[in-house]
Amino acid sequence: MSKMVVIGGAGGFIGGALTARLATTLPDEWTIRAVDKKPVPEWYQQPKRAERLCLDLSDPAACAKACEGADEVYNLACDMGGMGFIERFRVDCMRSVLINTHMLEAAYRAGAQRYFYSSSACAYNIDLQQDPNSRALKESDAYPANAERGYGWEKLFSEIMCQEYWLERQFETHVARFHNVYGPHGTWDGGREKAPAAICRKVLAAKHTKAGAIPVWGDGTQNRSYMFIDDCITGIIQIMHCDELIAKPINLGSSELISVDQLITLAEEIAEIGPLERVYDTTKPRGVAGRNSDNTLIKSILDWEPSTPFQVGLRLTYNWIEEQYLAKVRGDAYVR
């Protein structure tokens, strides 16, 4: 029998990578419906196998159309970006709660078998993240609730929605808390990019313009774990199909802790430039001081965890961003 998988946010970074992976791995009898509010030509990836729809999933009618006939629904649609975006546009981030609310109901009414929601480590209690050397966060650390304002609260509430659809309606839901996903085919300029892409772009610009310095948000001590996109997609698919993880939020992230200063050093080594002068700007958004993923639960249940070394993933990311950067300098179209 034919089946259908629906991917919300398929025009974005993670949604596009998931669509591309499923397009090459799902059996031929499966149909893939990819949905995003951006015009299709602006999507990061466009696998030919997928049906592509331009719909605003904050609209319940659009969600109903997207989920019609769905067997599995992956919701990665939201309005978000790096720290500069989520601190400046909290209302836009919180309005993403409409997307998950309407998609959950639409998927349930469509008779889908299971549903995946992409949450974030921003849902964790910020009091536990005030030191660059803070301990790794385990799943229970989301409570007592004190999430990051705006984006973090939207994620925490949406997690609860997913849990209640399982508890009250027996609609199978799965939730993963992403920790700083990076890699090729992602946002690298324009204000929504995250730290790895932003640092790669700044180092690239310094190299090609022969500048001797780069601006750095914060004081360089902020620590994060960064997960390569391929690991993220592998984790999503495993979590979606694990019976032990129904309505049970779980960390999906690397446990390799990297400071901003270390990130810059690695980017300089890849670019074969530097060391560059680092002009720290503590007036810019810097996020929490330290955040890392405790992978005890995911290892115990899936016997797996994200494992791509950051240096390996950053090199792949840098090389791809360099292609985009040089194409932009030449005035060429987006390189896929």
Q: Which residues contact 86 (CB under 8 A, 6 or more apart)?
A: 80, 93, 122, 148, 150, 151
Rounded Cα–Cα distance for residues 301 and 282 (Å): 41
DSSP 123: G
Structure tokens at 4: 């259908």
Rounded Cα–Cα distance for residues 208 and 196 (Å): 18
Nearest residue to 308 via CA among 228, 251, 199, 219: 228
Amino acid of residue 164: E
Rounded Cα–Cα distance for residues 147 and 292 (Å): 15
Residues acting as catalytic residues: 151
Q: 253 near 228, Cβ under 8 Å?
A: no
Nearest residue to 311 via CA among 273, 254, 233, 234: 254
Q: 213-226: b or e for each residue (b if 16 or more CB lie within 10 Å)? A: ebebbbebebbbbb
